[in-house]
């Protein structure tokens, strides 16, 4: 539900804009409100799950998520839809770290490796299946079903959890709550993710687009992004100081800093941050390339990305066995190697005329890598975390992954659009009849629309061709950038221990 809700919405946004008459700002908030709230609250709800009961918080999150999916599907205005997406993000933040802590508490040895393998394959697979489901629902039914599809899934989850999942919580008699830490962490991580995701839109320093919420607009010439980064740094610094003081006094704290004294937890989180920079960031670029350069429909884009999902699900069949025989760290490194091969191969075959079959083996290889690395890296991070603190541990690693993903989208998005702009400017300078002012206008339009403006250039075949080729060039840059991050993640993975799993 959580992963597909992000990817399905991306496919459905054009229809939502037409139906609800959204502005570009409103459409952007439909996409980003969910991600911002989700990332900001992961650590807080991971800790609350330890204190209040993991199953209880999971069920609460699922019910909230389903209710807000129903509200979103019935939305009659942009503000109503954005509000539902914000509350969906709260529900998602309750669910995501809690699933991990329940697995960590409920499984041991080889069974835990299998459980994490299935969890990781589901995450990777749904990242690819989401656009397929969204394309089908949006094309044949309505964008409203992109949200409504969550409701039967939520019902099945609630029934399954009540029937099969035992409650678990931290056995700590200390009373009190770390409200200050919760507020500071929410502000710090929320503002950090906002800056990373929105920097390309509003400008990394000077304001290039007006930031508006409701009837209020950003009043300064400087972009809100550097202000958000500064405020985030101050909030996170204060958060660390508050948590250190609470840990030292033996008071209840949102984050137990002693977890970072566990080598597997510390090194695994460092590796997870680097890997997340490249692992899902490139999935931002591929659907844009397929739709706006190759001319695929949303449904065709989803079908084209299916090999990634198939590879991810196939990996779960071998991940647990590989972890048992060679150790989870070996499975992580094998997965990262497959990801590097897959994404670098995609970078080599991306063009303005790539046949549909050419990316298939590389997408499958990339999916296999995600299915191996994502699940087993999670297992490595949590392997030595005490069960009573698994909510904190899973919330921390989930937050690290979300920040890495947001940073990856920011960096790879910058590579994509900077490469697109420079290449398109060069190509248009060689096209007869395009003066400098027209060239600047075309480049700006293609960049701001993330490629959507290419279809409007059909009356100028040479210009449209240049735009498609330049977008393919930018996509190649993003793919090679992702391969570089994953290679660094592979090097970071060498610091993980090779402890094998005992049944």
Q: Would you state the pLDDT for residue 282? A: 74
CATH number at 166 reads 1.20.1250.20
In this structure, are 316 and 397 located in the same domain? Answer: yes
d(CA 129, CA 358): 19
Residues 235 and 350 in one domain: no
- Whether 456 maps to a domain, the answer reads no
Q: How far apart are CA 303 and CA 4, in angstroms?
A: 15
Give residue 468's pLDDT: 92
Residue 251 phi/psi, 5° resolution?
Answer: -90, 160
Domain boundary among 209, 232, 251: 251
Backbone dihedral angles phi then psi of residue 216, each to the nearest 5 degrees: -100, 140
Same domain? For 225 and 349 the reply is no
Q: Which domain holds residue 398?
A: 2-177+252-420+475-493
Segments in the chain below pLDDT 70: 10-11, 13-14, 23-28, 128, 171-176, 214, 280-281, 320, 375, 391, 406, 497-503
Coil, strand or helix: which one is 311? Answer: helix
Residue 442 lies in a domain: no
Residue where a domain terminates, one of 251, 268, 299: 251
Q: Do residues 44 and 166 share a domain? A: yes
Q: Are residues 74 and 137 in the same domain?
A: yes
DSSP state of 383: T
Is position 258 within any domain?
yes
Q: What angle do CA 83, 41, 240 make, to 5 degrees?
A: 145
Both 372 and 270 in one domain: the answer is yes
Residue 343 lies in a domain: yes
229 plus 296 within the same structural domain: no
Cα(57)–Cα(48) distance, integer angstroms: 8
Domain count, the chain: 2
Could you give the CA distance from residue 412 to residue 284 in angstroms, rounded to a whole number? 9
Residues 198 and 71 in one domain: no
* Predicted local confidence at residue 25, as pLDDT: 59
Looking at the fold, whether 338 and 352 belong to one and the same domain comes out as yes
- Per-residue confidence (pLDDT) for residue 340, from 0 to 100: 92
Residue keyed to tokens 């706006």: 292
For 287-309, what is the HEC assignment?
A: HHHHHHCCCCCHHHHHHHCHHHH
Residues 6 or more apart whose CB falls under 8 angstroms from that of 213 comprise 29
- What pLDDT does residue 503 have? 47
Any domain includes 460: no
pLDDT, tens digit, for every residue of 390-400?
Answer: 767 777 777 78
Please indicate, yes or no, if residue 164 is contained in any of the structural domains.
Answer: yes
Residues 76 and 35 occupy one common structural domain:
yes
> Quick check: 316 and 371 in contact, CB under 8 A?
yes
Question: Do 192 and 332 reside in the same domain of the chain?
Answer: no
Residues 358 and 486 reside in one and the same domain: yes
The pLDDT value recorded for residue 51 is 80
CA 449 to chain centre: 21
Question: Cα separations (Å) of 88 from 3, 69, 155, 232?
Answer: 12, 7, 16, 23
Contact 371, 311 (CB under 8 A): yes
Which of 225, 251, 277 lies at the terminal end of a domain, its last residue?
Answer: 251
pLDDT of residue 361: 94
CA atoms lying within 13 Å on the CB side of residue 27: 17
Asked, for residue 329, whether it belongs to a domain, the answer is yes
Does residue 151 sit within a domain? yes
pTM across the whole model: 0.76
Q: Are 376 and 116 in contact (CB under 8 A)?
A: yes
């Amino acid at each position: 539900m959580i992963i597909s809700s992000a990817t399905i919405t991306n496919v459905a946004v054009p229809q939502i804009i037409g139906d609800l008459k959204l502005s570009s700002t409103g459409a952007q908030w439909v996409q980003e409100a969910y991600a911002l709230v989700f990332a900001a609250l992961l650590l807080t709800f991971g800790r609350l799950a330890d204190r209040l009961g993991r199953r209880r918080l999971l069920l609460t999150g699922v019910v909230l998520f389903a209710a807000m999916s129903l509200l979103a599907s019935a939305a009659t205005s942009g503000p109503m839809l954005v509000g539902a997406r914000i509350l969906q993000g709260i529900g998602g933040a309750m669910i995501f770290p809690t699933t991990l802590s329940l697995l960590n508490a409920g499984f041991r040895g080889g069974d835990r490796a299998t459980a994490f393998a299935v969890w990781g394959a589901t995450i990777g697979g749904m990242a690819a299946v989401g656009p397929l489901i969204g394309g089908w629902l949006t094309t044949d039914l309505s964008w409203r079903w992109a949200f409504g599809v969550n409701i039967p899934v939520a019902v099945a989850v609630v029934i399954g959890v009540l029937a099969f999942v035992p409650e678990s919580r931290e056995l700590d008699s200390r009373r009190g709550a770390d409200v200050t830490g919760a507020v500071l962490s929410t502000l710090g991580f929320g503002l950090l993710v906002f800056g990373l995701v929105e920097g390309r839109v509003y400008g990394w320093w000077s304001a290039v687009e007006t930031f508006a919420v409701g009837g209020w607009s950003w009043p300064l010439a400087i972009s809100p992004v550097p202000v958000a980064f500064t405020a985030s740094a101050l909030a996170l610094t204060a958060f660390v100081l508050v948590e250190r003081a609470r840990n030292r006094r033996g008071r209840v704290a949102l984050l137990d800093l002693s977890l970072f004294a566990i080598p597997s937890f510390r090194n695994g989180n460092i590796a997870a941050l680097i890997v997340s920079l490249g692992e899902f960031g490139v999935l931002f670029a591929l659907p844009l390339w397929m739709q706006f350069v190759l001319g695929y429909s949303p449904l065709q884009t989803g079908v084209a990305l299916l090999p990634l999902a198939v590879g991810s699900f196939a990996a779960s069949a071998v991940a647990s066995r590989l972890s048992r025989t060679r150790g989870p760290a070996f499975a992580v490194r094998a997965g990262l190697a497959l990801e590097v091969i897959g994404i670098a191969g995609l970078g080599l075959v991306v063009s303005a005329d790539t046949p549909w079959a050419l990316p298939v083996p590389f997408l499958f290889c990339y999916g296999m890598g995600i299915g191996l690395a994502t699940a087993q890296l999670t297992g490595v991070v949590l392997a030595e975390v005490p069960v009573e603190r698994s909510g904190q541990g899973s919330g921390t690693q989930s937050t690290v992954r979300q920040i890495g993903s947001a940073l990856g989208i920011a960096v790879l998005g910058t590579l994509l659009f900077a490469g697109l702009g420079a290449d398109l400017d060069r190509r248009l300078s060689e096209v007869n009849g395009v003066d400098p002012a027209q060239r600047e206008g075309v480049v700006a339009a293609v960049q701001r629309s993330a490629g959507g403006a290419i279809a409007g250039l059909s009356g100028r075949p040479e210009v449209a061709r240049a735009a498609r080729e330049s977008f393919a060039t930018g996509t190649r840059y993003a793919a090679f950038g992702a391969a570089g991050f994953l290679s660094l993640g592979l090097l970071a993975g060498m610091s993980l221990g090779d402890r094998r799993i005992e049944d």
